[in-house]
Amino acid sequence: MAGRAFIGTSGWIYDAWRDDFYAGCRAKDWLRFCAARFTAIEINATHYRLQSVGTFRRWRDETPPQFRFAVKAHRYLTHNKKLKDPLGPIRLERDRAAGLGDKLAAVLWQLPRNFHRNLERLEGFARALGAWRRARHAIEFRHPSWFDGEVAACLAAHRIAVCQSDAADWPLWDAVSTDLVYVRLHGHELTYATNYSEPELRAWARKVRRWTREGRDVHVYFDNDAYGDAPRNAARLIALVSRGR
C-alpha cells in the first residue's frame, strides 16, 4: 500500500509573510489559511515554549479533518539534558500534545549542533519513546558524528526516522531508517533565507513519490521562512507531488 505525503511549513506565525502570503488575512486566521493550502504543518513554537492541552485542542479544531500536525519537541530534553533521563520530559510532551488527538502524526526531536554521537544516550531515549507509541518520531542530527550504521540500526529497531535536514550550516544525512521519512528544508544556499529553485523542488518531489510508492509516510516541512519562501515552496512541492512531475 502506498504511503502518504504530508507537506507544509515549519510554523505559521511569521510577520515576514503578512503582506505577501497572508495579504488581507487576519493573524488569528493564519492557521486556517495554511490548512487550506498545505496538507500538514510542523509546530515550531513548541520547541521554545510548552503549550497547554487547550492550545493544542484549539489548533486541532481550527483545521480540517484530513489535516495533520508534526510537533517539534521542547529543547529541554534535547538541548539542556542532551537526552539524559528522558522518560519524564517525554511523558510531559505526550500528555500536552494529546490535545491534537488523531491529527498528531509525528514528533520531531532536534539535537543541537554541538551534541556529538552518544549511542548510550540515544538507546535510552529510543527505549523511553515506548511511552509515546501513538505518534511516530524523528530525530534531526546536526553533528556528523551520528551518521553511522550503529545509529541507523538503533533507529530502525525502534521505528524512529532520520530527519533529512537540508541547510547551509550543517550536513544532511540522507539515511532512511523506517517506514517514516521526515524532511526539513531550511534553505540550501543560506539557512532560513533562500528559495528552493524549480529543479530542486522537482528533485525532492521525485524522492517523495518514490518513498510513498515504497509504502512510507513522508513529512516535508520548509523552514526557509525569512523572506516568505517557505509557503511558496511548500505549495509548489504539493503541486509537483500530486501531478507526478
Provide the mean pLDDT of the chain: 97
Q: If you ran DSSP here, which 8-state letter would residue 186 be given?
A: E
Q: Please tell me the CATH superfamily of domain 5-243, with its number.
A: Protein of unknown function UPF0759 (3.20.20.410)
- Contact (Cβ atoms closer than 8 angstroms) between residue 63 and residue 31: yes
Q: Does 229 have pLDDT greater than 60? A: yes
- Contact (Cβ atoms closer than 8 angstroms) between residue 43 and residue 11: yes
- Contact (Cβ atoms closer than 8 angstroms) between residue 69 and residue 104: yes
**Cell 530525530, residue located:** 139
- pLDDT recorded at residue 245: 53
Contacts of 142 (CB under 8 A, 6+ apart): 110, 111, 112, 113, 115, 165, 170
Q: What does the alpha-carbon distance between residue 228 and residue 71 come to, in Å, rounded to a whole number?
A: 21
Q: For 82-125, what is each residue's pLDDT tens digit?
A: 999 999 999 999 999 999 999 999 999 999 999 999 999 999 99
- pLDDT recorded at residue 244: 72
User: In 3-state terms, the chain is what percent helix, strand and coil (to 5)?
Assistant: 40, 20, 40
Query: How far, in whole angstroms, is CA 117 from its chain's centroid?
Result: 21
- pLDDT recorded at residue 24: 87
Helix (H) or strand (E) holding 152: helix 149-157
Q: Does 69 have pLDDT greater than 60? A: yes
What are the domain boundaries of the chain? 5-243
